[in-house]
Structure 1
Amino acid sequence: MTQTLLDVRDLHVTLNTARGPADALRGVSFTLQRGQTAGLIGESGCGKSMTALALMGLLPEGAAVRGSIRFDGQELTTLPEPALCALRGHRIGMVFQEPMTALNPLHTIGRQIAEPLRLHKGLSASAARAEALRLLERVQLPQAAQRLDAHPHQLSGGQRQRVVIAIALACGPDLLVADEPTTALDVTLQREVLQLIAELVREDGMALLLISHDLGVMADTVQQMLVMYGGRVVESGPTAAVFARLAHPYSQGLFAARPRLGLARGTRLATIPGRVPELADLPVGCAFAERCSRVADDCLQAPVPMQAVNPGHDVRCLHWGSA
C-alpha cells in the first residue's frame, strides 16, 4: 500500500499588504504519495510559489497560516523553526526558479553543496567535498572537478541551475520541490534540466512537486496535476485524465494559449482576456468570473465547491459541463 508523504488540508495563507490583509491561499488541499510526481500550474500570482513557500516554512514575515500541512505524519504549520531547519535541505529539498539569487555569490560552488552535507549528515570537510564532486558529476555538470572552486558568476545559467539541483539533492530528500526550475533558461536547456530532474526522481524514488506555468511541462513530467487560480485549486486529477477532459474554463484557456508547431506564420495565439486579480481584490465567488465566458449570477455569490468530473478528477466550476 502506497504511503502518503505529504498531506495538505484546507491551507489558508493571509499576507499583510499595503491595502490590508489579503488571502494568498484559500483552502488548498492535496496529497502526495511517496515516489509520486505532481505539478502545480497557473499564471503568476495564482498561488503556486506561495504553496511551495508554505511547505518549506519560508513564508513572508507576518503571514498567518490556517489549515494543515502534514509531512510523513508530522504537522509542519506548528513546528518550531529549529525543527523546520532540520527538515529543510535534509528531507525536503527545493530547487528555486532563479539560481543566481538562490546561490551565495561570495562562496564557491563546492562550499555551498558541502554545507547541507556537513550540517545534516555530519560529514568532515574532505568527505563533504568528495560528495559534492560526486553530486556535480551526477547532475552532469561539465568539468565538475574544476567547478568546485568556481563562484556562481563564473558559471552559465544552465550550469548554475544544475548546481542548485545538486544542493537540493545533497542529503537524499524524500520530497523535492521544484519552483519553475527552467524559467531563466533557453528552450534546449529547459528540456535538459527537466529530463535531468525526472531521471533523478526516478532513480531515488523521491516525490516531486513541480511548479510551472507550462502545460507541456506538466504533460511530460508529472503523474498528477493541480491547476491553481486565485489562491485555490480549480482543477485536479491524474495528468492524462485532466488533459483528456479539460473541464475548467481557465484550464481550457491555458491549453488554447500554448504555442504549437505547424501554425502558419503570423498566426496569433489565443489569449485569456483580463488578468489575475490582486490578492486584495479576490471576490467571494469564483475568482475567474471576470475573465470567463460562461459566468452566471451564481458564480459570484459564494465560494464554488469542487465537483467530480470523473473518479479522481475534480473541478471548481458550477458550469463545467455546459461547454
Structure 2
Amino acid sequence: MNKLLEVSDLRVTLNTSRGQVHALCDVSFELERGDSLGLIGESGCGKSMTALALMGLLPEGAKVSGSIRFDGQELTSLDDGAMGRLRGHRIGMVFQEPMTALNPLHTIGQQIAEPLRLHLGLNARDARAKALELLERVHLPDPARRLDAYPHQLSGGQRQRVVIAIALACGPSLLIADEPTTALDVTLQREVLELIARLVAEDGMALLLVSHDLAVMADSVRRLLVMYGGTVVEQGPTEEVFRRLSHPYTRGLFAARPRLGLPRRSRLATIPGRVPELADLPAGCPFASRCGFVVPACHDALPAQHPVGLDHTARCIRLGAVLDTPLEQGLVT
C-alpha cells in the first residue's frame, strides 16, 4: 500500500470571544490506501475538528498551519473552489447527525443526484438511476419510492443510510465517518457500522472513523489515534494500543467503559475533572490537571511522542511509571 493521506504538524487556531485559541496542535498521522484509522476521545478533544480540517470545512476565520497532503496534493493551500472539487468527489464524509446533514426542502433523490451531476456530469435521468442504485446498495427499504421522499419521512437509520449513499456517490478514495451512529439505537448502530465496513472493503477506500466508543474502534479500524486537548496523546495499531494502554488518558477511557459481569450497584471508574475549554488549555500536557501520574514537569511544555513498541507511541514524560502501574491505579473512581 502507498500513502493516501499525510497529515504533519497540523495546527488550527480559532477566533473566539476570549481571543484566539488553539483547537488543534501538532496533529500528525498517515493513512494508506485501503487502510482504516480511528480517532477516539471525549467530546471537545479535537476529533471532529480534525475531520473538518481535512474537508476544508473549518469555521470562518480559522487559521491552519502544517501540512495536509491528499494523494500527493497539499490541501492547506487550496482555495474554496479547488477544495469543492475534491469534497464529495475524492473525499466523502458521513456526518453524525443525518437530519442536519440533509436538506429538508429537497427529496432524497435530488440530494443523492447533486454530487453525481456536479462532479461526474451526469444528466438528470442518469443521476436519478444512479441514485436508485446507491439506495439499493445501502439496503434502504423500498428504494424506488424513497427517491421522492423527504428526510422527515424517513427514520433515523434510514436517513443515515441516505447520508452514506451521498458520501459514496462519486466513488471517493477516502471516506470520513464522523460519529456515524450517534443518534441510533444499538441494533441500528451495528447495522450501519457493518454496512460502512462492507462498502469500504468492496470499493477499496481508506476509512477515517471518528468515535468515542472503544468497542467500535476495536472492531472497525486497524490503527488508532487517541486525542485529548486538541492533540494526539497515543497512537499505534489498534490491537497493540489495547494490549498495552500507555497514556494515562487512554487508560482512563478503557477503565471507564461499561462491562458485563460487574456486581450490582458497582460504580464505573471515572476520570476526574472535565475536558478543559480551548481557551483554558495549559501550556504543558493538556491532561495534567486530571492525571494521577502528574509531576511539576508535566506543566512545563507539551510532551513529545515517546516510543512504546513497534509503531506505537504515547505523549507522556512519565511513560515508564505508567506502564509499571496496574491499570486500575492512577485513576479516581
Number of residue-to-residue matches in the alignment: 322
Mapped to 2, the partners of 1:266 and 1:156 lie a distance apart of: 35
State the 1:268 CA deviation: 1.4
User: Match of 1:299?
Assistant: 298
User: Match of 2:317?
Assistant: 318
Pairing 1:7-18 to 2, within 5 Å after superposition:
7-18=6-17
Question: What is the identity, as a one-letter code, of the residue corresponding to 1:214?
Answer: D
SS at match of 1:119: helix
State the 1:267 CA deviation: 2.0
State the 1:269 CA deviation: 1.2
Mapped to 1, the partners of 2:320 and 2:129 lie a distance apart of: 57
Pairing 1:272-291 to 2, within 5 Å after superposition:
272-291=271-290
Mapped to 1, the partners of 2:252 and 2:76 lie a distance apart of: 34
State the 1:264 CA deviation: 2.7
User: Match of 2:134?
Assistant: 135
Question: What is the identity, as a one-letter code, of the residue corresponding to 1:140?
Answer: H
User: Match of 1:196?
Assistant: 195
Structure 1 residue 74 corresponds to structure 2 residue 73: yes
User: Match of 1:91?
Assistant: 90
**Superposed CA offset, 1:183-228 (max 9, x none):** 0000110011001000100000000000000010000000000000
SS at match of 2:304: coil
User: Match of 1:56?
Assistant: 55
TM-score (normalizing by structure 2): 0.96
User: Match of 2:223?
Assistant: 224
Mapped to 1, the partners of 2:262 and 2:160 lie a distance apart of: 32
State the 1:311 CA deviation: 1.5
Mapped to 1, the partners of 2:269 and 2:113 lie a distance apart of: 47
Mapped to 2, the partners of 1:24 and 1:200 lie a distance apart of: 32
State the 1:56 CA deviation: 0.3
Quick check: 265-274 or 104-113, which moved more? 265-274
User: Match of 1:169?
Assistant: 168
State the 1:262 CA deviation: 2.0
**Aligned-pair RMSD on alpha carbons?**
0.6
Mapped to 1, the partners of 2:274 and 2:283 lie a distance apart of: 17
User: Match of 1:47?
Assistant: 46
Pairing 1:108-257 to 2, within 5 Å after superposition:
108-257=107-256
Percentage identity across aligned positions?
73
User: Match of 2:331?
Assistant: none
Question: What is the identity, as a one-letter code, of the residue corresponding to 1:10?
Answer: D
Question: What is the identity, as a one-letter code, of the residue corresponding to 1:55?
Answer: L
SS at match of 1:233: strand
| Displaced runs of 4 or more, over 3 A | none
Mapped to 1, the partners of 2:2 and 2:236 lie a distance apart of: 18
Mapped to 2, the partners of 1:259 and 1:218 lie a distance apart of: 15
Unaligned runs of 5+ in 2: 326-333
SS at match of 2:264: coil
**Superposed CA offset, 1:143-172 (max 9, x none):** 111100000000000000000000000000
Mapped to 2, the partners of 1:137 and 1:260 lie a distance apart of: 37
Unaligned runs of 5+ in 1: none
SS at match of 2:44: coil
Mapped to 2, the partners of 1:12 and 1:139 lie a distance apart of: 36
TM-score (normalizing by structure 1): 0.99
**Superposed CA offset, 1:108-161 (max 9, x none):** 000000000000011111111111011001101111111000000000000000
